[in-house]
Chain A
Amino acid sequence: MIYVTNPKTVITETRIALKNLGKINPESIDDYIFNGGYQAIAMALEMQPNAIIDEIEKSGLRGRGGAGFPTGSKNRFTSLSCDDCERFVICNADEGEPGTFKDRIIMENDPHLLIEGMLISAYAVGASIGYIYIRGEYDLSISLLQKAIHSAYSRGFLGKKIMKSNFSFDLELKIGAGSYLCGEELTLLESIEGKRGYPRIKPPFPAEKGLFGKPTLINNVETLSHFPAIITNGSEWYSNMGTEKTKGTKIFTLSGNVNNPGFCEVELGISLYSLIYDFGGGIKDGKSFKGALLGGAAGTFVDSSMLDAIMGYDKLKERGATLGSGAIIVFDEDQSVYDLLFSVLRFFQHESCGKCIPCRIGTTQILMLMEKLKNEHNKKDILAEILYESEMMAKTSLCPLGQSPVLPIRSAIMYFENELIKNNQ
């Protein structure tokens, strides 16, 4: 384990996904190997695939993309879905949740770590082909990954009979073209298949029927970046970190009205206060903290009564908030909650794919109601209508996009109802 303290901050970081940050040249495979790179896959290749899944399961690692699903179970489902069939592993690098840039930091600083994580997951579930689906705007990440894949092939870490074992694995980069929804795992599959980004109906889940109808394991960049360390150090080492139900570390990305916006990787269990004040240096221009949006647009608003909240999937859920992608968007006393909520809802309307009616019409309807809220007097009724509308969408929409607006809406009302009703914007 490596402890790094950023001179700007007084918190202690525990870096796993960012262990090589600033220590290696991301373009150099030699640097990566010199720092212990590709040793985890060498160890993994000596193990039975099932034993790797056991280790991941025991580590308590949960998906870092936002949903927090137990990673080990997902691996297990994919490996058990058929006896001897073709399977795929996919890395979801379509990072697009507003306020989130953790995956970009990993890919720009340590692309080989992601490749090694994919190798381990592919060997564990018996896949011989993998894809990294990355958003088209991440130009630097794309070129660094392309370079890294190329050098991994030339050194025999990708391709046929990897490190003289019987394991072969081909890895290809697939580049998105500007669609938030393609970060949703089933929509991502459609996009890799060369189609419009329309979500599929679940079930079947990807572990059963994924890419080209074959069992597919999809993991986020940050999740995969934890695989090598878990194999090297063991599941017990990993599960000693974090909270009771949310193990390990997480990268948080802090933005908005703070003195030091940026990212840090810390053990789960840190308080929101510590992230905003100790790491973020507090609120800019001597103003006071009004609230934060946790987890991005598909996340929840909180106010100062939540500053003591412990960051962990379950701990936050108990208090009605979400950890999501790890985005923390901070706003000060002068920020209008109405404006911020409007911006979040405009985002959903723009990114709604239009396939299912509740989301296509609902996201537009809600924006119209938001306009009404600004201009008309019966604000309390209009606010109730907005909430009702978003709850209907949550119940009837096909995919997480339509199910999400209720989160920021409900929490904005919970903490800032008075302001939303009073507001004379």
Chain B
Amino acid sequence: MKIMTEEILLKYKPQKNNLLQILHEIQTEQPHQYLPETELRKVSKYLNISMSSVYGVVSYYTMFSIKPRGKFIVRLCQSPVCDMLGSQLIANKLKELLQIDFNETTSDGLFTLEFSECLGLCANKPSMMINKQAYTGLNVDVIELIINDLRNESKNSDN
């Protein structure tokens, strides 16, 4: 059962310094992992700050989205380290497997592709995160297995 925005707000004092925490919690509870305008209006009202400054914060931070996203958000590291170790090859493989570009969501609503800056998972092969799960030591074969696993997992949970 998802937690309503109203319930989340009540956990916090109506102070602006709680804004990021509140936004994180609301976004996590949304089925499409984004911040809908309706919810942002509730935040603006509760904290007594203008909608434009709420939007200003949301649009500044890359982890917040105002567009609906997939069930699985794939965040591929494109930092200098992963880039030199071939994250572009992983990016191409992901695009091919999912038939979408970065910053897009598959039509079945399962996957969103995003780039991330350094995830602090540096090794001698590229890394990524899918939702809260970290993956490192990636190559194109592993990517295919990971994506297929998630597809199957999702199919099974629907049945």
A residues with CB within 8 A of B: 95-101, 103-104, 136-140, 174-180, 191-197, 253, 255-259, 261-262, 284, 293, 296-297, 327, 329, 331, 335, 339-340, 343-344, 347, 350-351, 353
Contact = CB atoms under 8 A, between A and B. Distances in A.
Contacts of A297: 79-80
Nearest to B56: A196
Given A253-B122, A255-B122, A339-B84, 9 more contacts: A95-B120, A98-B79, A100-B122, A101-B121, A178-B64, A195-B16, A195-B57, A331-B84, A343-B83
Interface stretch (B18-26, B96-104, B142-150): B18-26
Given A256-B124, A258-B124, A347-B79, A139 B132 contact: yes
Q: What's the interface size class on B, roughly? A: 35 or more
B116 interface: yes
Contact of A96 (B53, B85, B118, B129): B118
B8 interface: no
A331 B17 CA distance: 42
Given A192-B17, A197-B61, A261-B122, A180 B117 contact: yes
A194 B79 contact: no
28 contacts: A96-B117, A98-B80, A98-B118, A99-B118, A101-B120, A101-B122, A104-B120, A137-B75, A137-B119, A174-B20, A176-B20, A176-B61, A177-B20, A177-B64, A179-B62, A180-B117, A194-B16, A194-B17, A194-B18, A196-B57, A256-B81, A261-B123, A327-B122, A329-B122, A343-B83, A347-B80, A350-B117, A353-B60
A99 B79 contact: yes
A261 B84 CA distance: 14
B80 A293 contact: yes
A353 B84 CA distance: 25
Contacts of B79: 98-99, 297, 343, 347
Contacts of A103: 120
B61 A179 contact: yes
Contact of B60 (A196, A284, A293, A329): A196
Nearest to A335: B84
Contacts of A104: 120
Contacts of A255: 81, 122-124
Nearest to A100: B120
Nearest to A192: B17
Contacts of A344: 80
Contact of A193 (B16, B122, B132, B134): B16
Contacts of B18: 194
B20 to A, nearest CB: 6
Contacts of A253: 122
Q: Which 8 residue pairs of A and B lie closest in terms of their CB atoms, listed nearest first?
A: A177-B61, A178-B62, A255-B122, A194-B19, A101-B120, A178-B63, A194-B16, A98-B118
B116 A174 contact: no
Contacts of B83: 339-340, 343
Interface of B: 15-21, 23-24, 53, 56-57, 60-64, 75, 78-81, 83-85, 116-124, 129, 132, 134
A262 B122 CA distance: 8
Nearest to A354: B60
Classify the secondary structure of B's interface with A.
mixed
B47 to A, nearest CB: 8
A97 B17 contact: no
Nearest to B24: A175
B41 to A, nearest CB: 17
Given A178-B62, A253-B122, A255-B124, A98 B117 contact: yes
Contacts of A296: 118
Contacts of A175: 20-21, 24
A422 to B, nearest CB: 20
A138 B118 CA distance: 11
A99 B84 CA distance: 12
B57 to A, nearest CB: 6
B29 to A, nearest CB: 15
A351 B80 CA distance: 13
Contact of A177 (B63, B117, B132): B63
Select the residue from B53, B57, B120 with max chain A CB neighbours within 10 A. B120
Contacts of B24: 136, 175, 177
Contact of A137 (B16, B80, B116, B124): B116
A335 B124 CA distance: 13
B9 to A, nearest CB: 14
Contacts of B62: 177-179
Contact of A99 (B23, B56, B81): B81
A180 B83 CA distance: 17
A197 B60 contact: yes
Contacts of A192: 17
Nearest to B131: A139
A243 to B, nearest CB: 26
